[in-house]
Structure 1
């Protein structure tokens, strides 16, 4: 037997065990093409090596602090599997990471994704990674690499898991750490684009109990059930970095993810102050009103599961709140004054709830 035939037989043997090397190589080639939309001049090399290089601009960041965050998409993936719609899940993955590191005032520099499958479907993988590239483009960071792991028997047919890591930078003297927060500071809430990527285990349970299909319509929702629930997480990087670049002092920031407003806002506050949030100070989208009603829970409890229409919160001095609102609106954000900081335990205190 020639060496070539022996190598071919070994490859067929590996494929028979559930791993297709050719499919992996084809996927990598497609990733390299879609990653071009998420590129920065500091990137050294491209997709396909053993590591991604990034030359930090020390002129812009003479006191660099690297800020990193890792996250996934959670059981929102189950809806992508059920509907065969995989093009926006990657945006969610990027958003969950870059919005987190943004809370420190960090500019996202680069992103790496990890896609794990039972059996690799190159077309599906390309859609997922194209979404990752789109999310990176929205955040202004580069997609420098990642990993696609084909692991037979680890995932049911047609399913996968997706996670990622973002790395950003901020000068040490410009870090946002919440220590300057004082009573009287204003809470500005930036509107979410929907459910984002949290609370989907309960969402799917409520949809199933209501007997709804993914192609059904619900009054007030934007499109079908699938349209509404697959709407990707909003990325707040550019407008918030714009405020910081303009010199507006942001004292603290919170990304409203798992735990909602109730658990996430206190994370950005120092001890000795509370966030007094005014119920009714922003319009709650129809999807959240439906979920709250279907779950049979009060608003405060719902706001510990979902974002309820507020995806990101800024804490600013009242003297600059008006200018911040104006700049954010000019950048395309819907912004609401949702409350203020007051003395008290580090927690959300609701005002205006019946």
Structure 2
């Protein structure tokens, strides 16, 4: 047995690098703070004071998610400033569909070896996502795990908490036949379907990460790393003046699987496929793999990031509001009666 002294750094964990990383991200984290935040970064837990005078009967709503295999694209391109936006988006978009205002966010970054500059780039994206959502980044965890992850790879997970008054919770129970479906445009793939997308782009199409993605004038990296759109501010703006019967965040499972999650028994979502502008990206992927229509709509968002079920009389005003807020929105269908033992979603050509 050798008498040579071994340090934690020799085992692959650099505490000094970790301290440097924390100092680099402090101003990024502070830029997201809301008045309710009660402590600086560095404590064992984040402190957030809930303003109970703002709510009659507050209900906390939480969500957690990751970025998935989209991270593989970030590794290939060595581009890390946008995946943090994806991380926040996948969490806050999930809780705003229930009418909840996101309050705070925590992140978990695990890596084989901590590179402070790369870590700071990731947190820069997380902070940007929090600013877009109006929530505070009040804490997180960075785990350096040599031998578990390779030195140049990492994984991300996030956790968001929001609040809504009990009588303003959106759960889909108010949806009825005749309601209209408003679709709000996605920014691209968002953070779902990347296992199939990577297979199509790199194996079937044989494209390199810095090649042009056909028909877009952008590189593969730029197209596939487009960050997930955050819909919080637009939906919270609508909720000030309108009643929304149900909202579906179009994530894994696409339009076919996510819209039924908010439908009451006896209701079907009938969607007209020619009613919105589908980004070229999806047509390129479908053609590359000869992917069947329903497989595409079950895997990808197909250009729609959120679906809102609304009363017919409110539909036009809500569309005008959304488009005025910088969204692209369309009436993409309606709620129809669902025969017993029938699919709760119906895709109509034309």
TM-score (norm 1): 0.95
**What is the distance in 2 between the residues matched to 1:298 and 1:184?**
30
User: What residue in structure 1 maps to residue 240 of structure 2?
Assistant: 245
Greater displacement, 223-232 / 30-39: 30-39
Distance across 1 between alignment mates of 2:147 and 2:265: 48
Between the two proteins, the alignment pairs up a number of residues equal to 343
Contact 1:266 1:346 in 2 (8 A): no
Give me the whole-angstrom Cα distance separating, in 1, the residues matched to 2:158 and 2:201.
28
Query: For the Cα contact (< 8 Å) 2:186–2:228, is it kept in 1?
Result: yes
- The 3 A distance-change label for structure 1 pair 172 and 222 is farther
Give SS of 2:107's match. Answer: strand
C-alpha separation between the residues in 2 aligned to 1:297 and 1:211? 17
Residue from 339, 343, 347 that aligns with 2:344: 347
- Match of 2:69, SS? helix
SS at match of 2:218: coil
1:31 and 1:47 in contact (8 A); partners too: no
Cα offset, 1:299, TM superposition: 2.3
The alpha carbon displacement at 1:220 in A equals 2.4
Please report the RMSD computed on the Cα atoms of aligned residues, expressed in angstroms.
Answer: 1.2
| Contact 1:270-1:346 within 8 A present in 2 as well | no
Corresponding position of 1:230: 225
Q: Determine which of 277, 285, 301 is the counterpart of 1:283.
A: 277
* Shift in Å, 1:157: 2.0
3-state DSSP of counterpart to 2:65: strand
Deviates more, 1:287-296 or 1:159-168: 287-296
What is the CA deviation profile of residues 257-301 of structure 1, one whole-angstrom value per residue up to 9, with x for unaligned ones? 001000001001111110001111111101110011112123222
Trace 1:289-304 onto structure 2 (pairs within 5 A).
289-304=283-298
Match for residue 311 of structure 2 among 304, 317, 323 = 317
What residue in structure 1 maps to residue 199 of structure 2?
Answer: 205
Residue pair 2:177, 2:335 contacting (<8 A) in 1 also: yes
Secondary structure in structure 2 of the residue aligned to 1:303: helix
> 5 Å matches for 1:108-187?
108-187=102-181
Q: How much has 1:222 moved relative to structure 2?
A: 4.9
Q: For structure 2, which runs of at least 5 residues remain unmatched after alignment? A: none
Aligned runs of 1:11-26 on 2, under 5 Å? 13-26=7-20
Provide the rounded CA distance (Å) in 2 between the counterparts of 1:120 and 1:320.
Answer: 51
**Distance in 1 of aligned mates of 2:286 and 2:163:** 38
Conserved in 1, the CA contact under 8 Å of 2:214 and 2:284?
Answer: no
Matches of 1:289 and 1:222, distance apart in 2: 16
Residue range with higher mean Cα deviation, 290-299 or 317-326: 290-299
Measured in 1, the distance between the counterparts of 2:216 and 2:105 equals: 32
Which aligned pairs between 1:262-273 and structure 2 lie closer than 5 A? 262-273=256-267
Q: Is the CA contact 1:69–1:167 (under 8 Å) kept in the aligned structure 2? A: yes
Match of 2:70 among 67, 76, 80: 76
Q: Work out the CA distance in 2 between the residues paired with 1:21 and 1:215.
A: 35
Residue-by-residue CA offset, 1:25-74 (whole Å, 9 max, x unaligned): 11112221111221100000111111111111111112110000000000
